Amino acid sequence: MTRVIEGFSGINESDMALNSDIYGQIAAALTGVVKQIKALRYYPPRHPALNNAAEECLRGFRPLLDDGRSLSLSIRKDGFLFDDQPVAKGNQVLGQLAMFCFARRIQCLTILTDLKAKDLNHFVHYLNLDHQKIQVYGGIQSLLEKARVTTIWANERDFDAILARKAEIEEQPEQPDIDPVSVLEAANVESEAQSSAESISLQQLIERLEQEKSDERFQDGLQELIPLLRINLNLENRLLILKGLLLLCRTATAAGSSANRREAAQQALDQLVSGDLSSYLIDFLIDEQTDKQIRQTLVKMLVFTRDKTSLPLMTRLAEEKQAGARKLLAEVLAKCGVAAEPALFDFLNDDRWYVSRNVIAILGEIRSQRSLEHLPPFLKHEDLRVQREAIRTLTKIGGQVAIDILIRAAQSSDQDLCRQALLSLGAMRAESAVPVLRKLLQQSGWSQQTMDLKKDAIRALGEIRCKDALGDLLAIASRKRLLRRRLNEELRIAAIHALGELGERSVHDVLEAFTNEKSASVARAAAKALKQVDKG
């Protein structure tokens, strides 16, 4: 099995060496095929999402097909091979796809450089047919040729033969022996009829289980329910699937149920959400058409099964493009609490800055002390937005460990990081930060950077309401200068505001004197601070 360049003229070894990530690209492209198969099963025929899935799948193959290249893969029961080496060995999703293809007698797959989305759409539709029906039509390759799909070839390893047959098909008039559309429509009708019958069976089973008194018969019914729920994972049966899952959730938590019945319901839930059901529920959750009340139920269900659903939720959040959906997924993960932390930690060091930022923000909502040890490196992240989110999360989590991290950040040479840390220490009223804050006030120089740090330190001292800093603040508030007058006045105003925060009656007379200052800004600040002191 080889990757062929320039019209199948031979193997380009230098290209193979340059593209060391080719196996990862192939795995990603094949994963796109899996997603397209799921979309086909999930959405009704001719739904716009099916074309979108085909386009997305095509984008996955594009890096492999650039510059006139084509891709050839061997297929075994347990996986795909490229250049006689396994692709993503151990990947269960691709293993299932390989078995799926192998059952349809596809042992080799060649994809040409001019691959189109509509060709992928035909291929996946045919692949989704029952394996016996495929053979009735002469096999996958026969169906593809009759549909005039000349960019995907099954079980043909001779590239010269592929090119010759491709040219031959493209020269033929568009009158295939079998109309490919009619094959798809017939398959869809058959699938819809089967789905309808299964839906009726599922509805009856759920109603029976809701009334079942015998624990033994209830447990037997669950063994029927699990496969029926899996079979009916499509758009039309959403409410029915939800009804079945609610039955399991209620039973697993019902005080009136026997221990055996509760355990059986919980085990059934664990089996279901460990598979495709998690993705199904997440799709249902973020669909804009989902009713608000139903969405609330879905949130509760995903949180209830958080040990199994946290990783799928985080995986979807990392890939989701819609801002509204990302917000919803983040809220659910936050509600999952510490159970979501392992999944969050897996994505914390993602190469995409926004993924790291989102994870850090969720950790801030969970507020677990355990996550503090993971945060310090992100105070030095190359993206300022990630740094700021890490500061906010430390502030939300709180506690002495978080304060110690912020104190170290407040002494950083990074101006922006230092200022953010100072503001957070003030908001947290971190008394242990007072020595560092007072030390910052002793810095020399009149640069804007120095002034900004001093003002932030003054503000933090005021919010902490540190009486030990009273002398420092009075000294700054009383200091007058002819040189650097504007900058000095800014410091004085900051110190006067901080004195008001302290609320000490002993500074009343000083503040009252400041209200008579010639500087209107200083006088206004003093009057405001005086009111705070008078109010205690």
pLDDT, one tens digit per residue, over 273-299 is 876 788 889 989 998 889 999 999 999
Does the structure show a pLDDT above 80 at 13? Answer: no
Mean pLDDT of 158-165: 88
CA distance 32 to 60: 7
Does the structure show a pLDDT above 80 at 12? Answer: no
Q: Which residue has the higher pLDDT, 92 or 338?
A: 338
CA distance 386 to 366: 17
pLDDT given for residue 22 in this prediction: 87
Give ranges for CATH 1.25.10 in the chain. 465-536
Taking only the tens place, the pLDDT of each residue in 116-141 is 998 998 898 888 877 777 877 788 88
Torsion (CA) 44, 49, 53, 55 in degrees, nearest 10: 130
Q: Fold for domain 465-536?
A: Leucine-rich Repeat Variant (1.25.10)
Question: CA of 95: how far to CAs of 106, 159, 205, in Å?
Answer: 14, 26, 32
DSSP letters of 99-114? HHHHHTT--EEEE-TT
- Residue 2 pLDDT class (50, 70, 90 cuts): very low
pLDDT given for residue 90 in this prediction: 77
Does the structure show a pLDDT above 50 at 11? Answer: no
Does the structure show a pLDDT above 50 at 333? Answer: yes
Proportion of the chain above pLDDT 70, given as a percent? 90
Does the structure show a pLDDT above 90 at 510? Answer: no
Instruction: Specify the DSSP class assigned to residue 27.
Output: H
Q: How far is CA 221 from the centre of its chain?
A: 35
- Residue 16 pLDDT class (50, 70, 90 cuts): very low
Report the first-to-last Cα separation within the chain, whole angstroms: 82
Single pTM value for the model: 0.64
pLDDT given for residue 172 in this prediction: 75
- Residue 174 pLDDT class (50, 70, 90 cuts): low
* 15-29, 227-241, 517-531: range with highest mean pLDDT: 517-531
Torsion (CA) 469, 474, 479, 485 in degrees, nearest 10: 80
CA distance 191 to 146: 22
pLDDT given for residue 176 in this prediction: 47
CA distance 522 to 382: 39
